[in-house]
């Protein structure tokens, strides 16, 4: 097999995302950390339409001077009508922040082809970081099951063992395309699930957000502005509880943080499946916590995080990127 050889002992990754405020912060961490070799970015229709998520990926990567290939993904879920989250991320998806006019265009290769080529031309298995609905990944695995040995693992921000944010049981990324999530769960590829159980504990406070502005770079100011926008819109969610606005949940960051700093996270292996038909539970990720099903675990489910260390990691990334611009 021909392809890239990673001589620096980095973790080769493909990032599949739907920027989105927290996806943007995930990209920041991914490109700030020397442990990662980001070989491709692909976009999902999730938080926003595919046109907007693709534009936002190009815009942010232009701003931070990382001209990695960005490949446009599928425009809608496999079997459901698309639902977006502009009420949370803003009409443009980045709150009130504008990063940069894209200095490069999306790849001529569609996402599925680009992921396939990247996997098959690599001399080592690649980790897929997925922080949106799993539409592209499911379509890839259906069309090209031969890629499975070339996928080291999928680190997915999605799902929830207890409680949801789109319904009482379902998290957004699983709810938006439950069929894709279920197909990926059954694919036999190792999966790390950073669901709401852990991402609700990986938050930044208002005081910490304000501290971002003291870092003294235009980049840190923009990050703080995005976080500020989040404090208002997260309060509008159907499952808002008092005090929620004090905890700005930067969900997607955990899908990268658990790779570069795995010691910060705790989790266990469980059998997980996705509810596709329930009137009240469609999109719920059913985690066999009691292990009563007798089925072999298929997902490593994260449930806790060292928040102080997580915030330190986040601030280091803001500082690192800010100093390069």
- DSSP codes joined into one string, 28-59: HHHHH-TTEEEEEEEE-SSSS-HHHHHHHHHH
44 touches 135 (CB < 8 A): yes
Distance CA 251, CA 194 (A): 8
Q: Which residues have C-beta within 8 Å of that of residue 260, sequence separation ≥ 6?
A: 11, 29, 33, 35, 36, 313
For residue 14, CA distances in Å to 36, 39, 60 come to 10, 6, 17
Residue tagged active-site, from 89, 251, 300, 303: 251
User: Can you read off the two tokens belonging to residue 172?
Assistant: 């957004």
Beta strands in the chain (DSSP E): 11-17, 36-43, 70-71, 126-130, 151-157, 191-194, 203-205, 247-249, 265-270, 272-274, 285-287, 299-305
110 touches 77 (CB < 8 A): no
210 touches 224 (CB < 8 A): yes
Whether 303 sits among the annotated catalytic residues: the reply is: no
Phi, psi of 305 (to 5 degrees): -145, 150
Distance CA 114, CA 220 (A): 32
Widest pairwise Cα distance in the chain: 55
Taking alpha carbons only, the member of 104, 110, 114 closest to residue 58 is: 104
Strand partners, 153: 127
Residues catalogued as catalytic? 251
């Amino acid at each position: 097999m021909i392809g890239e050889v990673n001589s620096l002992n980095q973790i080769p990754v493909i990032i599949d995302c739907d920027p989105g405020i927290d996806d943007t912060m995930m990209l920041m961490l991914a490109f700030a950390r020397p442990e990662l070799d980001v070989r491709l970015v692909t976009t999902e229709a999730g938080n926003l339409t595919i046109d907007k998520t693709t534009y936002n990926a190009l815009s942010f990567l232009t701003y931070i001077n990382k001209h990695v290939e960005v490949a446009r993904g599928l425009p809608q879920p496999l079997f459901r009508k698309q639902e977006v989250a502009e009420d949370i991320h803003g009409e443009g998806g980045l709150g009130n922040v504008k990063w940069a006019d894209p200095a490069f265009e999306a790849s001529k290769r569609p996402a599925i082809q680009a992921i396939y080529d990247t996997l098959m031309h690599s001399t080592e298995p690649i980790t897929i970081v997925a922080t949106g609905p799993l539409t592209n990944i499911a379509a890839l695995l259906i069309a090209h099951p031969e890629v499975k040995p070339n996928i080291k693992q999928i680190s997915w921000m999605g799902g929830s063992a207890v409680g949801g944010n789109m319904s009482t049981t379902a998290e957004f990324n699983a709810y938006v395309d439950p069929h894709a999530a279920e197909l990926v769960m059954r694919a036999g590829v190792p999966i790390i699930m950073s669901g709401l159980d852990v991402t609700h504990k990986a938050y930044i406070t208002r005081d910490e957000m304000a501290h971002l502005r003291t870092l003294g770079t235009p980049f840190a100011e923009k990050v703080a502005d995005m976080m500020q926008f989040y404090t208002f819109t997260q309060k509008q969610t159907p499952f808002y509880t008092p005090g929620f606005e004090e905890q700005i949940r930067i969900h997607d960051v955990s899908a990268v943080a658990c790779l570069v700093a795995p010691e910060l996270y705790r989790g266990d292996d469980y059998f997980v499946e996705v509810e596709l038909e329930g009137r009240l539970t469609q999109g719920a990720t059913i985690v066999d916590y009691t292990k009563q099903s007798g089925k072999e675990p298929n997902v490593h489910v994260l449930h806790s995080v060292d928040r102080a260390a997580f915030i330190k990691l986040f601030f280091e990334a803001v500082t690192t990127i800010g100093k390069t611009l």
